[in-house]
Each structure stands twice: as structure tokens, then as C-alpha cells.
Amino acid sequence: MENYLSSVKKQFQYYKSLADKAITQVSDAQLDWQPNEASNSIAIIVKHMVGNMLSRWTDFLTSDGEKPWRNRESEFEGSYPSREAMLEHWEHGWKCLFEALESLTEADLERIIYIRNEGHTVMEAINRQLAHYPYHVGQIVYLARLQANEDWKSLSIPKGGSEVYNADKFAQEKARKHFTDGMK
């Protein structure tokens, strides 16, 4: 279970890093670009993720994960006054998540917490968010990739780079590692 907590922290850090790297590849104006009116911009996705993080991870073990002060609908409206304001909000959400994770012990993983009055073990609640946030990070990456076009810098194995990447991996001794170990 200690390995579980360490692993989820690394995975959340990995997905945050992917979004961070994608966001740096777009202009300020592109943060608000929507492919159509029914779609969300990068800034709106960030706004939603932060709203979710603050609601879910504030008083994580002691109050319902859907806080009465959260206005989910407003997360899908408007934008930020600047990239800096968006990134400050983004960092605040992730800080809330990581502080909550740091406070957990193995014994906490089987405790029951609630999200909209539905009971989850702490482990189930973590897994729920570990599915939710990467889903939205993928949207951020895709929107950034569309806009960066030929200037895009790959966040993983670049197209055409699989053979070299795999040769490097298989040249190393077998070892127990987390998939994020050694990533930039």
C-alpha cells in the first residue's frame, strides 16, 4: 500500500507535467481557442480541473468531495484575465491535491469518504480522480497539439522514434521501476 501511494503521486505528477508542457507550447490567445461552441478551450478545461481538485481534495477525509461552495457550471464559462492568472489557479489546485495525498497513510486507504453522498474507499476515490484528470490532460494536450501544428514538440516517444526508444530500454538491465522514473 505504501507503494500504491508513492505510485499515484508519481502518476499525478506525470499527468500534471504533460499538461504543463503542452500549455507552454501555445500562445496566450490559443489558451482560449475552442474548435466549436460545444467544445472547451484549454483555459476552460483548466478551470474545471481546478474546481474539481479544490472540491475533491479540500478536507479530503472529513467532508463530502462535492463541496457546497463549488459552482461546477461556472467552471465552463468565461476565461482567465491572463496566462499568469490561469497558471496560478492551476498550481493552487494541484497543491491542494498533493498536500492531501501527502497527508495520507496506508491505514487511510480503506477509510470511507463521500462524493455526492456516494461512499468510496480512499483508494477508490484516488483511482476515480486518477482516471478523471488524465482524461482532461489528454484534451489539453490534443488542443495544444492542434494549435502548435508543425511547431509541436512531442511529449512522449516522437513519431518515428519507437525503434530507438525501445532499443535503449531493452539495452538496460531489468529492474523494478515506476514508468515515470527518469522522465523529464
Domain spans of the chain, in order of start:
2-170
Backbone angles phi, psi at 121, to 5 degrees: -70, 160
DSSP 97-152: HHHHHHH--GGGGGSEEEETTEEEEHHHHHHHHHHHHHHHHHHHHHHHHHHHGGG-
Interval 40-95: pLDDT, tens: 999 999 999 999 999 999 999 999 999 999 999 999 999 999 999 999 999 999 99
| CATH fold group of domain 2-170 | Four Helix Bundle (Hemerythrin (Met), subunit A) (1.20.120)
- This model's pTM is above 0.85: yes
DSSP code of residue 61: T
Alpha-carbon separation of residue 138 from 17, 42, 79, 180 (angstroms):
12, 11, 20, 17
Residue 177 CB partners (closer than 8 Å, separation 6+):
none
Task: Evaluate if residue 184 carries a pLDDT over 80.
Answer: no
